[in-house]
Amino acid sequence: MSIRTIVENVRAGGHVTASEAAVLFHEAPLPVLGRLADEIRARKHPGDVVTYIIDRNVNYTNVCVARCNFCAFYRPVGSSEGYVLGFDEIFRKIDETIALGGGQLLLQGGHNPDLPIEWYEDLFRAVKQRYPEFRLHALSPPEVIHLTRMTKLPVAAVIDRLIAAGLDSIPGGGAEILVDRVRKILNCYGKATADEWLDVMRHAHAAGLRTTATMMYGHVETVEERIEHLTRLREVQDERGGFTAFIAWSYQPEHTQLGGYEATGAEYLRMLALARIVLDNFPSLQASWVTQGGKVGQLSLAYGANDMGSVMIEENVVRAAGAAYCMDEVEVVRNIENAGFTAKRRNMHYEILGDPYFRMREVPRMLELATARAEGDASRPEELNSYAARSAREKQLRSHPR
């Protein structure tokens, strides 16, 4: 099929097939893809509003048994660089987030065998008790699966327990590429197969939660496998419409076992535009300025994105792999407005909350990203001793405290 025929079909509201998407990706000039994606964006979001959210990306632990070979963030059990945040540290981060106009934590972390489901429940309950209006966008599908293995409970039961404790929505992390051939090479098949990842999202949507979906591309996958990832997401979205948004980011290779190169900005824009075309049942697409920088992030708004994602207060995972772009609310809004759009704050459900916060209240400028912990801080939260130790290292620590 020719590019022209596929473009006309998409303009008429048609679904692209996987083979048509491959033709577009391989053969269509970038401006053609961009124009088509921008038309779809304008159809779904008429007017000139581009949204963003003020939240904080908190990684509660970096200790992880999954050992994905693309990850520069995790530390093995027993590492002197491993950490678990204390509840008080997390409360402090929430206070800082609220002071900057934020109302949500994006809470994700490693698969730490010494944090049982009760630790999460106690944390969520404590957050909700102190901050009843504050939202918890927490635990990506592989973390939920990790908890099913720790508790020996089915996915639905784990999600129900987390909701009862205060979970509001689930972030779409850990998807990487939803094709098992790729997941085996990345050593992330064990943490969640493609089917398992999608199954958690199905259960979350059935339980009434909204979730996002992500893709990390540019490592060992083929273009056809990226398209399979997109079409599998589209199928799940057809069932209940529980995904609010899709976020694609390029693999960040520094300090990883896998190594390699980062995809270019042009490839990112091509991928984003293709995602906007294939995911015709997803309401929103975020620009990944965290991996691409503000300038490509700004261009994303002409390639299908209608949202600038989060004002980054803290970031640990992407930074560990070499990217450390920082934009506070003033910068995010400046980039949106300079691209010709009107900036509005939103919540996780993409409901508009209002105009930029910094124009209504005085807030400190944040010109550097916060980290999970100050370098060298090896403190161990007291409350960890209230939960049963599972790893040999933690048991040893408890019996012979340093």
Report the nearest approach of ligand SF4 to the CB of residue 316 (Å).
Answer: 10
Work out which of 41, 45, 56, 111 binds ligand SF4, going by CB under 6 A.
Answer: 111
Report the nearest approach of ligand SF4 to the CB of residue 143 (Å).
Answer: 8
Nearer to ligand SF4, 77 or 305 (CB): 77
- x/- track of binding to ligand SF4 for residues 41-70 (CB under 6 A): -----------------------x-xxx--
Report the nearest approach of ligand SF4 to the CB of residue 339 (Å).
Answer: 31
Helix boundaries (H) for 12-130: 18-27, 30-44, 87-99, 117-130
Tell me which amino acid residue 381 is.
Answer: P
> What's the token pair of residue 242?
């529980």
Q: Using the rule CB under 6 A, is 170 a contact of ligand SF4?
A: no
Residue 365 CB-density burial (10 A; 0-12 exposed, 13-18 middle, 19+ buried) = exposed
**How many Cα atoms sit within 13 Å of 309 on the Cβ side?**
31
Distance between CA atoms of 188 and 74, rounded to whole angstroms? 13
Work out which of 110, 172, 253, 356 binds ligand SF4, going by CB under 6 A.
Answer: 110
- The three-point CA angle 378-382-383 to 5° equals 125
Work out which of 60, 74, 119, 243 binds ligand SF4, going by CB under 6 A.
Answer: 74
Report the nearest approach of ligand SF4 to the CB of residue 62 (Å).
Answer: 7
> What's the token pair of residue 270?
């091509």
Report the nearest approach of ligand SF4 to the CB of residue 80 (Å).
Answer: 17
Q: What is the DSSP letter of 375?
A: T
**DSSP string covering 243-260:** EEEEEEEE---TT-SS--
Q: Which whole-number Å values give the CA distances from 140 to 58, 80, 90, 196, 300, in the listed order?
A: 13, 26, 18, 12, 25
Count of residues engaged in binding ligand SF4, rule: CB under 6 A = 12
User: Which backbone phi and psi does 179 adopt, to 5 degrees?
Assistant: -140, 125
Report the nearest approach of ligand SF4 to the CB of residue 214 (Å).
Answer: 12
**Considering only residues 178-197, where is the footprint of ligand SF4 by CB under 6 A?**
188, 191
The separation between CA 128 and the C-alpha centre of its own chain, rounded to angstroms, equals: 22
Nearer to ligand SF4, 54 or 72 (CB): 72
Work out which of 102, 103, 141, 142 binds ligand SF4, going by CB under 6 A.
Answer: 142
For ligand SF4, the binding residues (CB under 6 A) are: 64, 66-68, 71, 73-74, 110-111, 142, 188, 191
